[in-house]
């Protein structure tokens, strides 16, 4: 049950970061800064690329959730926390990709209204 909760939390958090309207202002700010010449331009480019991709963002969300909330890999495979956090990111990325693919399939194949 904890594993399923971890995956749903990762999907929810990633979906909000990538598509949520509440983050439009920060995303627009980062996008503008990534186009300007400044000493942090590369970091802004990295951030906007990460916030534009469900797989990329979910990897970092998985790292965060594994460290702060719950590490399913540490519990399931009995790994050390430092190593399990890496695999938590991979697990979150795969789970979010799968859930997002299913959601997108249903969005593309919903019946047309006449």
In tens, the pLDDT along 66-96 reads 999 989 999 889 888 889 999 999 999 999 9
- Determine the pLDDT at residue 114: 67
Q: Is residue 107's pLDDT more than 70?
A: yes
Q: How far apart are CA 7 and CA 12, in angstroms?
A: 9
- Determine the pLDDT at residue 11: 96
The percent of the chain in helix, strand and coil, each rounded to the nearest 5, is 80, 0, 20
Q: How far apart are CA 35 and CA 49, in angstroms?
A: 12
- Determine the pLDDT at residue 1: 87
CB atoms within 10 A of CB 10: 28
* Reported pTM: 0.85
For the stretch 16-70, pLDDT in tens is 999 999 999 999 999 999 998 889 989 999 999 999 999 999 999 999 999 999 8
């Amino acid at each position: 049950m904890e594993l399923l909760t971890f995956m749903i939390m990762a999907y929810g958090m990633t979906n909000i970061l990538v598509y949520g309207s509440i983050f439009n202002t920060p995303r627009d700010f980062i996008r503008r800064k990534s186009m300007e010449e400044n000493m942090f331009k590369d970091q802004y480019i990295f951030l906007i690329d990460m916030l534009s991709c469900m797989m990329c963002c979910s990897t970092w969300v998985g790292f965060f959730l594994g460290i702060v909330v719950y590490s399913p890999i540490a519990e399931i495979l009995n790994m050390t926390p430092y190593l399990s956090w890496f695999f938590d990111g991979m697990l979150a990325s795969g789970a979010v990709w799968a859930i997002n693919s299913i959601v997108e399939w249903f969005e593309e194949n919903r019946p047309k209204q006449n």
